[in-house]
Amino acid sequence: MTHSVENRFIAIICGALLLFVAPLFVVFFLLSSERSAIELRNHADVVVKANSLALGKPLWDLDEQSVTQIAATIVIDPSVLKVEINDTSGQLNIAQSTVPKRTHRPLESITAPIVYRTVEGPQNVGSITVYFDKIGIFSAMNQLEVAFISIFAVAIMVVFGAAVLGHRLMIIKPLMRLTAAIEATRKLGSRQHVDWHSNDEMGRLALSFNEMQTLLEREERELKRAHRRTSDIYNQTPAMLFSIDDNDCITAVSDYWLLATGYTRSNVIGRKFTDMVDPSTRCKYETRKEGRRDESTPCEVTVKFVCADGRIMDVLIVETRTVAAARWNELSLSVMTDVTELKRSEDRNRRQALTDHLTGLMNRQGFEAALDAKIQEATAERTELACLFIDLDRFKWINDNLGHVAGDAVLCGFVQRLTPLLGPGDTAARLGGDEFAVLILGSDAEETALDLCHRITALFDEPFRAEGAEARLSASIGVSLYPRHTSSAAELLQKSDVAMYAKKRDGKNGVQIFHPSMMEQAARRVEVESNIQLGLEHDWFDSYFQPIVDLNTKSVIGFEALMRMIHPQKGILAPAEIIHIAEETGTIGYIGNRILEKSFANLSELSRVPGMADTYVAINFSPLQFEPSLPVRLASLADRYNIRPGRIVIEITEAVLMNDNPEIRRILDEVSGFGCRIALDDFGTGYSSLSYLNRFPVDIVKIDQSFTRAMTDTAPEIRAKSRTLVEGIAAISRKMECKIIAEGIETSEQWQLLDQLGIDCGQGYFISRPQPVNRLQAMLAEPLVIRVEDVG
One-letter amino acid at 276 equals M
The residue-averaged pLDDT of 417-440 equals 91
The verdict on domain 355-514 having CATH code 3.30.70.270 is yes
Number of neighbours of residue 728 by Cβ within 10 angstroms = 13
pLDDT over 80 (residue 507): no
Bridge-based pairing of strands 556-567 and 541-550 is: antiparallel
Residue 142, CA distances (Å) to 33, 137, 147, 277 in order: 10, 11, 9, 89
pLDDT over 60 (residue 534): yes
Mean of per-residue pLDDT scores for the chain: 83
Write the Ramachandran bin of 363: left for phi over 0, alpha for psi from -120 to 50, otherwise beta. Answer: beta
Per-residue pLDDT tens digits for 17-36? 777 777 877 777 777 777 77
Q: How far is CA 57 from the centre of its chain?
A: 122
pLDDT over 70 (residue 280): yes
Q: What's residue 646's pLDDT? A: 93
Per-residue pLDDT tens digits for 288-308? 777 666 666 778 888 899 998
Please tell me the distance from the alpha carbon of residue 277 to that of residue 285, in angstroms, as a whole number. Answer: 8
Q: What's residue 328's pLDDT? A: 46
The residue-averaged pLDDT of 123-140 equals 74
CATH architecture of the region 237-345: 2-Layer Sandwich (3.30)
Q: How far is CA 25 from the centre of its chain?
A: 83
Mapping DSSP to helix (H, G, I), strand (E, B) and coil, where does residue 779 land? helix
Per-residue pLDDT tens digits for 81-93? 788 888 888 788 8
* Structural domain boundaries in the chain: 2-141, 237-345, 355-514, 544-786
The verdict on domain 544-786 having CATH code 3.20.20.450 is yes
Q: How many residues does the chain have?
A: 792
- 2-141 matches 237-345 in fold: yes
CATH class of 2-141: alpha beta
Per-residue pLDDT tens digits for 431-489? 988 999 999 998 888 999 999 999 999 998 898 887 777 888 889 999 999 988 888 88
Per-residue pLDDT tens digits for 372-396? 999 999 998 899 999 999 999 888 8
Mapping DSSP to helix (H, G, I), strand (E, B) and coil, where does residue 531 land? helix
Residue 748, CA distances (Å) to 372, 650, 756 in order: 64, 29, 12
Residue 444, CA distances (Å) to 336, 374, 438, 499, 706 in order: 51, 15, 15, 20, 48
Number of neighbours of residue 527 by Cβ within 10 angstroms = 11
Instruction: Work out the pLDDT band at 691, boundaries 50, 70, 90.
Output: low
Instruction: Work out the pLDDT band at 428, boundaries 50, 70, 90.
Output: very high
Please tell me the distance from the alpha carbon of residue 509 to that of residue 395, in angstroms, as a whole number. Answer: 13
Instruction: Work out the pLDDT band at 327, boundaries 50, 70, 90.
Output: very low
pLDDT over 80 (residue 193): no
pTM score above 0.95: no
